[in-house]
Amino acid sequence: MDAVDHIPVTVLTGFLGSGKTTVLNHLLRQPEMGGVVAIINEFGEVALDHLLVESSEDRLALLDNGCICCSVREDLIETLDDLAARRAAGTIPPFHRVLVETTGLADPVPVLHTLMTAPDIVGRYRIDGVVATVDAVNGAHTLHAHAEAVRQVAVADRLLVTKTDLVSGDTLARLEARLVAINPVAALSQVSNGIVDPARVLDAGLFDPAARSADVVRWFETAARAAVEPHHHAHDCEGTRCDHPVHHAHDSDVQSFSLVIDEPIHGEAFSRWLDYVAALKGEDLLRFKAIVNVAEQPDAPLVVHGVQHVFHPPISLAGWPSEDRRSRLVFIVRGIPREIIETTLCKFAAVSRTAIQRPAA
Amino acid sequence: MPMDKSFADTVFRNGRIYTSNRKQPWATWAAVRAGRFIAVGEERDVAPLVGERTATVDLGGRMAMPGIVDIHNHIMMGGQADLYELRFASSASVAKIAETLHKAASAAAPGAWIVGGQFGNNLLGEMNTAESCALLDAACLGHPVVLRDDSYHNRWASSAALRLAGVQADTPNPTDGEIGRDLKTGTLTGIMIEAASGLVERALAASGHYTAEMDRAAVARSISVLNTYGVTAFIDAASMQPIMAALKGLDDRGELTAWAVCAMPVVEPGFMFGKAGEELFALREEYRGAHVKPDYVKVFLDGVPGAKTAAFHEPYLADPVRGCCFRGATMLTVPDLIRWLGRCEKLGLAAKIHCAGDAAVTQALDAIDVVRSFNGPTHLVHQIAHASYITPDDIPRFAALGVAADLSPIIWYPTVFLEAHKAAMGDERAQRFWPNRDLKNAGALMAGGSDWPVIPIPDPWQGIEGMVTRQNPTGDFPGKSLWAEQALDLATVIDIYTIDAARAAGLGQTIGSIETGKSADLIVLDQMIFDVAPDRLADTRVEMTFFEGRKVYERA
């Protein structure tokens, strides 16, 4: 699949009260938002009135910075279809990016599945990344109490920790350790008063065919470190043992681990293995990301993203983001032992056991 | 004086009781309380449990053994045919069928459906004409009529039945089915091939022709037939809603005289119609009873070798229609099967997978291998049904993966089935059929079944003899054996029909052997089977059948 012509879509998620609307309000005012469509839940929540250039109908508004604001319809597919049609017909200005806000309580997974599988959508749009807001004041409690909040963090490529000015350094450090435990590969940044550089939200570039963005390089380097360095995260181990490779989220059963595989993997066998994972373990696979050195195309690594049982069609990159050409697989899971992943990779994806690099015990 | 509850309700004495319990294979006495064995052994072990109110069954030195488990049958069909259907031989001509039908139609209530069977499927061509259709319509006197063929896959329906089914001359053929039309005139002939049968069967079901009461009576009749052969547990191999409702209805009334395990189809089978898959699974707790266990699903992976619909590694013999290299095909891909198995394991359901050809067996084992690798060990016992053509490399995989071999139907000796297989794939390959000894040596869990009504009588004793002799117990094909090296000894075969079948049915803790704590399902035989010549085993008659300590059959 070639992603060059597809419109990147950023999904902005975050629990109620996590500061998502504040972030959105800030973003909509920035000049960088020109040419971006923002699909938001309710116009009422964001103060648009004084930004409006024109509002042809209740669903659509053009802001003075060139951002098109659009309230979501019943159905995201319909909304995105309609936007693409209007863009083609020239009834709205051309746009090069979409930002989708999910509702606060929502499990972001269905939105991602829609973007990954709906036939009309996958031909025109691609997921650029998932951004989740977590507030420093209530975040720990929310993660403890709501599985949806854990899922929002688990699927995120970027985490924005908001309201950091309202808590102590210790509280913030504990929350961040917790977030890293759930999702060790998401880029984490702190935000006060919703003030965030649009570039921190948009353009995660994970599906960018050039794959040269600093984010991509950083992401895969983190993944490689997570696989071999059991201590690289400062999470609280609350006990005697801290040498296991699995990072336990304290109040949930979500874990993450990475594998580094130092040999080319056969494409067909790997995709068969992916089918099996999706069929049998999809429910417990919150997020899967991988860059794979495919034996058949050593210079064009394959990037694979999965959210539960749905996998985005693999994307071939034009080249490797760094000198490191080892395959790196990151799993954020609920109760899938690493051993089962390793065993089944060996058995069904023809990976040699010795090529899988494990953390030092 | 001790309270009554410390005594047995019933004691069996003076028997030669074969227990199917390795730790104590033989006993002479056994005591029952509240439907369970409470003591098994010799007189001195059991006699103290005899109180004033204890009933005694003197076995008079006769052999007794655990009730038999039929791992695969279709429990509604036999009774329904017996009680409510117009019967004619599959050798009957079209003219003979019309004559029989005319008599029935003259006696039937106005507007009532007439259901009959089974006609030989060799008649389908002759029936699929305007002339035969006219003959049928004349005979049925305006009644809606549906006649089933001997494969259960095809139907012949009267014009009145087609009208009720909404089938007209321009009705398109359903997927995987054909509505018969006269070659010259294009008019409907009433012949309904495969999935088209469903159009008429659904109209019949919607008419209320079979009431819940009739369904219960049909199932009760079938089970009483099983009881006469000593069968006290079975798996119904394609449980649709009416079947489970009938079993549950009988159980609630205390009238169910066998343990019933239900295998719910994942998709609507070609010969039964109604809810299947998730929709059906969702209803299973409604049908669960003390003795009704809706804990299996049924997957059809291929067809049958005789019709060249089974999936094989090697091609069938060349024929003008399929050419030189036809191997048959499976109905599901490995990933599809994996998805079903994964889903079923999540729901706590085991799968009975129909695999008549060796390629289907391989595919099922491959899928189970994947599921085991991801899901780890399970208490669920998946079964490969009709495990009969198996490539040698697959034999050890049954034990390795914990998969049971459902041995059904009873055709591990020369039969007409084998002749059809020879025609389809040549003598040598056709005879590498039922590698029972190889499976046993490789440690596979094996279970005997009838597949009744595919086999007209669900008599396990023919199967038991045939498994020992590999020769036809009815006297057909005299002197001929089927792959004699695959014969098994009698003790192994009795295990296959009792304790091993119970394990394969998920009831190994409850039934299958005569031991303390298990259901008091015991049968009394007219001969000591371990003392008779192997070719006399099929003559064994069951004198009495006890289900939970209650006598449910006694030979007249």
Q: Do B373 and A344 touch (CB under 8 A)?
A: yes
Beta bridge partners of B67: none
Task: Give the mean model confidence (pLDDT) for residues B261-277.
Answer: 91
Task: Give the mean model confidence (pLDDT) for residues B217-242.
Answer: 98
Label residue A229 by pLDDT band (50, 70, 90).
Answer: low
| Cα–Cα dist B459/B226, whole Å | 8
Question: Which residues does chain A have within 8 Å of residue B370's beta carbon, measured at their own beta carbons?
Answer: 276, 280, 344, 348
Return the SS3 of B542.
strand
Task: Give the mean model confidence (pLDDT) for residues B334-351.
Answer: 96
Question: Which residues does chain B have within 8 Å of residue A280's beta carbon, measured at their own beta carbons?
Answer: 338, 342, 370-371, 374-375
A336 closest CA partner among A309, A304, A315: A309
Nearest-by-CA chain A residue for B340: A279
Q: Do B375 and A280 touch (CB under 8 A)?
A: yes
Rounded to 10 degrees, the C-alpha dihedral A91/A94/A96/A98 comes to: -20
* B-interface mutation test, from A268, A275, A276, most B Cβ less than 10 A away: A276
Low-confidence winner among A49-53, A108-112, A337-341, B377-381 (lowest mean pLDDT): A49-53
Residue A270 to chain B, least CA–CA distance (Å)? 14
Task: Give the mean model confidence (pLDDT) for residues B137-157.
Answer: 92
Label residue B346 by pLDDT band (50, 70, 90).
Answer: very high
Q: Return the pLDDT at B452.
A: 94
Task: Give the mean model confidence (pLDDT) for residues B530-556.
Answer: 97
Cβ-nearest to A348 among B370, B375, B376? B370
A256 closest CA partner among A291, A285, A235, A219: A285
Residue A279 touches partner B, C-beta closer than 8 Å: yes
Question: Which residues does chain A have within 8 Å of residue B375's beta carbon, measured at their own beta carbons?
Answer: 280
Question: Which residues does chain B have within 8 Å of residue A334's beta carbon, measured at their own beta carbons?
Answer: none
Label residue A55 by pLDDT band (50, 70, 90).
Answer: low
Question: Which residues does chain A have within 8 Å of residue B340's beta carbon, measured at their own beta carbons?
Answer: none
pLDDT at B318 over 70: yes
Residue B342 to chain A, least CA–CA distance (Å)? 5
Q: In this structure, which long-range contacts are made by residues A66-69, counting pairs with CB atoms below 8 Å and at least 24 apart in sequence?
A: A66/A33, A66/A34, A66/A35, A66/A93, A67/A28, A67/A33, A67/A34, A67/A35, A67/A36, A67/A37, A67/A38, A68/A36, A68/A37, A68/A38, A68/A92, A68/A93, A68/A95, A69/A28, A69/A37, A69/A38, A69/A40, A69/A43
Question: Which residues does chain A have within 8 Å of residue B376's beta carbon, measured at their own beta carbons?
Answer: 340
Residue A325 touches partner B, C-beta closer than 8 Å: no
Q: Return the pLDDT at A361.
A: 43
pLDDT at A42 over 70: no
Quick check: B133 and B97 in contact, CB under 8 A? no
| Cα–Cα dist B367/B376, whole Å | 14
Q: Do B371 and A280 touch (CB under 8 A)?
A: yes
Q: Return the pLDDT at B406.
A: 98
Question: Which residues does chain B have within 8 Å of residue A346's beta carbon, measured at their own beta carbons?
Answer: none
Label residue B1 by pLDDT band (50, 70, 90).
Answer: very low
Residue B349 to chain A, least CA–CA distance (Å)? 15
Quick check: B351 and B340 in contact, CB under 8 A? yes
Chains A, B: CB contacts within 8 A come to 28
Most confident of A35-44, B1-10, B418-427, B542-551: B542-551
Task: Give the mean model confidence (pLDDT) for residues A184-212.
Answer: 74
Question: Which residues does chain B have within 8 Å of residue A343's beta carbon, measured at their own beta carbons?
Answer: 373
Nearest-by-CA chain B residue for A276: B335
Nearest-by-CA chain B residue for A281: B374
Quick check: B385 and B269 in contact, CB under 8 A? no
pLDDT digits (tens, 9 = 90+) for B43-91: 999 999 999 999 999 999 999 999 999 999 999 998 998 899 999 888 8
Residue A343 touches partner B, C-beta closer than 8 Å: yes
Question: Which residues does chain A have within 8 Å of residue B338's beta carbon, measured at their own beta carbons?
Answer: 275-276, 279-280
Task: Give the mean model confidence (pLDDT) for residues A162-176.
Answer: 91
Q: Return the pLDDT at B276.
A: 96
Q: Return the pLDDT at A21.
A: 85
Task: Give the mean model confidence (pLDDT) for residues B504-520.
Answer: 98
Look over chain A and give the mean of its residue pLDDT values, rounded to a whole number.
80
Q: Which helix (H) or strand (E) holds B431?
A: none
Residue A268 touches partner B, C-beta closer than 8 Å: no
Label residue A74 by pLDDT band (50, 70, 90).
Answer: low
Task: Give the mean model confidence (pLDDT) for residues B448-453.
Answer: 95
pLDDT digits (tens, 9 = 90+) for A76-123: 888 888 888 888 888 888 888 999 988 766 778 888 888 888 888 888
Cβ-nearest to A340 among B335, B338, B374? B374
Low-confidence winner among A92-101, A312-321, B461-470, B494-503 (lowest mean pLDDT): A312-321
pLDDT at B513 over 90: yes
Quick check: B272 and B242 in contact, CB under 8 A? no
Nearest-by-CA chain B residue for A340: B374
Question: Which residues does chain B have within 8 Å of residue A348's beta carbon, measured at their own beta carbons?
Answer: 370, 373
Kindly report the number of other CB atoms within 10 A of residue B437's CB atom: 18
Label residue A239 by pLDDT band (50, 70, 90).
Answer: very low
Nearest-by-CA chain B residue for A339: B374
Q: Do B374 and A344 touch (CB under 8 A)?
A: yes
* A-interface mutation test, from B334, B344, B373, most A Cβ less than 10 A away: B373
For chain B, list residues whose CB is within 8 angstroms of any CB belonging to chain A: 335, 338-339, 342, 370-371, 373-376
Label residue B521 by pLDDT band (50, 70, 90).
Answer: very high
| Cα–Cα dist B207/A241, whole Å | 69
Q: Give alpha helix (H) positions in B68-111.
A: 75-84, 94-107
Query: At CA A196, angle to CA A193 and CA A201, rounded to 5?
Result: 135
Q: Return the pLDDT at A129.
A: 86
Q: Do B370 and A343 touch (CB under 8 A)?
A: no
Quick check: B261 and B236 in contact, CB under 8 A? yes
Write down the ipTM of this complex: 0.82
Low-confidence winner among A214-218, B21-25, B315-319 (lowest mean pLDDT): A214-218
Q: Which tops the pLDDT comparison, B112 or A249?
A: B112
State the burial class of residue A4 (Cβ atoms within 10 Å of its Cβ: 0-12, 13-18, 19+).
exposed
Label residue A146 by pLDDT band (50, 70, 90).
Answer: confident
pLDDT at A263 over 80: yes
- Could you tell me how far CA B180 lies from the centroid of its own chain? 30
Nearest-by-CA chain B residue for A280: B342
Share of chain B above pLDDT 90, in %: 89
Quick check: B149 and B92 in contact, CB under 8 A? no
Share of chain B above pLDDT 70, in %: 99
pLDDT digits (tens, 9 = 90+) for A116-145: 888 888 888 888 889 999 999 989 988 888
Residue A120 touches partner B, C-beta closer than 8 Å: no
* A-interface mutation test, from B370, B372, B378, B401, most A Cβ less than 10 A away: B370
Q: Do B370 and A340 touch (CB under 8 A)?
A: no
| Cα–Cα dist B545/B543, whole Å | 7
Nearest-by-CA chain B residue for A273: B370
B46 closest CA partner among B31, B56, B34: B31
Q: Do B339 and A279 touch (CB under 8 A)?
A: yes
Q: Which tops the pLDDT comparison, A198 or A53?
A: A198
Cβ-nearest to B373 among A275, A279, A343? A343
Residue A256 to chain B, least CA–CA distance (Å)? 17
pLDDT at A2 over 60: no
Q: Do B373 and A279 touch (CB under 8 A)?
A: no
Residue A194 to chain B, least CA–CA distance (Å)? 43
Cβ-nearest to B342 among A280, A340, A344? A280
Q: Is the peptide bond before B453 cis (omega within 30 degrees of 0)?
A: yes
Question: Which residues does chain B have within 8 Å of residue A340's beta carbon, measured at their own beta carbons?
Answer: 373-374, 376
Nearest-by-CA chain B residue for A341: B374
B135 closest CA partner among B180, B193, B189: B189
Q: Return the pLDDT at A321.
A: 78
Q: Return the pLDDT at B73.
A: 97
Residue A265 to chain B, least CA–CA distance (Å)? 19
Q: Do A348 and B335 touch (CB under 8 A)?
A: no
Q: Which residue has the tokens 């321009």?
A: B170
The dihedral built from the CA positions of residue A332, A333, A339 and A344, taken in this order, carries a sign that is: negative
pLDDT at A1 over 50: no
Residue B345 to chain A, least CA–CA distance (Å)? 10
Share of chain A above pLDDT 70, in %: 78
Q: Do A279 and B375 touch (CB under 8 A)?
A: no
Residue A277 touches partner B, C-beta closer than 8 Å: yes
Nearest-by-CA chain B residue for A347: B373
